[in-house]
Amino acid sequence: MFGLLVLCVLLGLAYNSASPLGIHWRKAHGSSGKPGSASATVYANETMAVSLKRPAGPVADQPIYQNDTIAQSFTPPLVAAKPAADQPVRKPVLEMTWLEVKALMPAGKVVLVDARAPSYYQAGHIPGAISLPFTASPEEMAAFESKHPRHIPIVVYCGGEGCSLSHRMAETLMTQRGYAKVIVLSGGYAGWRLYERQAVASNKGQ
């Protein structure tokens, strides 16, 4: 019995080495062989079949070995894709509360920008804010840049927590317009109104 098992293994290994259907290691094209390389070793699915015929003669009590298939797949570890050289690197966008921004406004240390559509700005905006909608034309953007140097911090806001225009405008100003520091006003215009109402109610209660 043991000899038959050994014979089975040897036949399988011999077949695997000689047959194109055997399990073989292979490297992807252009592989550098270095750890972390995107072209790491790839193990593909292969098939190995082993068949042993039943010995001749009245050996009904002997085990019968049938064809078996072995298939295994190994996927190399994923490697984080590096940004292309021609793509701008995204900088993290900071956020500040209105209480923090309000302390900087009188000293002129920041420029407050309203990224909403002009109609919303005309209907109501934070005092001292400049209208620069996210859909601003190249001429409007150029006019803004001529008045506000790129080293001055910019604070951008839009409608409220659910509005993404402020974050999109902040990324545009940093990655495409070269502004060094752009901050998003947390809560936006709705947050400012809520803060001012609470401040007024607090003053009346005193």
Domain boundary among 28, 50, 82: 82
Termini Cα distance of the chain:
98
Residue 89 lies in a domain: no
**193 & 103 share domain:** yes
**29 & 62 share domain:** yes
Position 36 confidence tier, pLDDT thresholds 50, 70, 90: very low
Position 100 confidence tier, pLDDT thresholds 50, 70, 90: very high
- The mean pLDDT value for 29-35 works out to 47
How many Cβ atoms are within 10 Å of 13's Cβ, its own excluded?
A: 13
How many independent structural domains does the chain possess? 2
Residue partners of 191: CB distance under 8 A and separation at least 6: 97, 98, 160, 161, 185
Say what the pTM is: 0.56
Length of the chain (residues): 206
| Structure tokens given for 192 | 């400012």
Residue 87 lies in a domain: no
Residue 89: is it exposed, middle or buried by C-beta count within 10 angstroms (0-12/13-18/19+)?
Answer: exposed
**99 & 197 share domain:** yes
Summarize pLDDT for 39-76 with one digit per residue, the tens: 444 444 444 444 445 555 555 455 554 554 444 544 54
Mean pLDDT estimate for the chain: 75
**137 & 98 share domain:** yes
- CA dihedral for 105, 95, 88, 168, sign (positive or negative): negative
Order across the sheet with 154-157: list the strands.
Answer: 94-96, 182-185, 154-157, 111-114, 130-131
**35 & 107 share domain:** no
Phi-psi region of 158 (alpha: psi -120 to 50; beta: other; left: phi over 0): beta
Question: The domain containing residue 1 runs over which residues?
Answer: 1-82
**101 & 8 share domain:** no
Summarize pLDDT for 116-146 with one digit per residue, the tens: 999 999 999 999 999 999 999 999 999 999 9
**107 & 201 share domain:** yes
Residue 25 lies in a domain: yes
**105 & 15 share domain:** no
Residue 183 lies in a domain: yes
**Which of the two residues, 189 and 18, has the higher pLDDT score?**
189
**35 & 73 share domain:** yes
Domain boundary among 82, 103, 128: 82
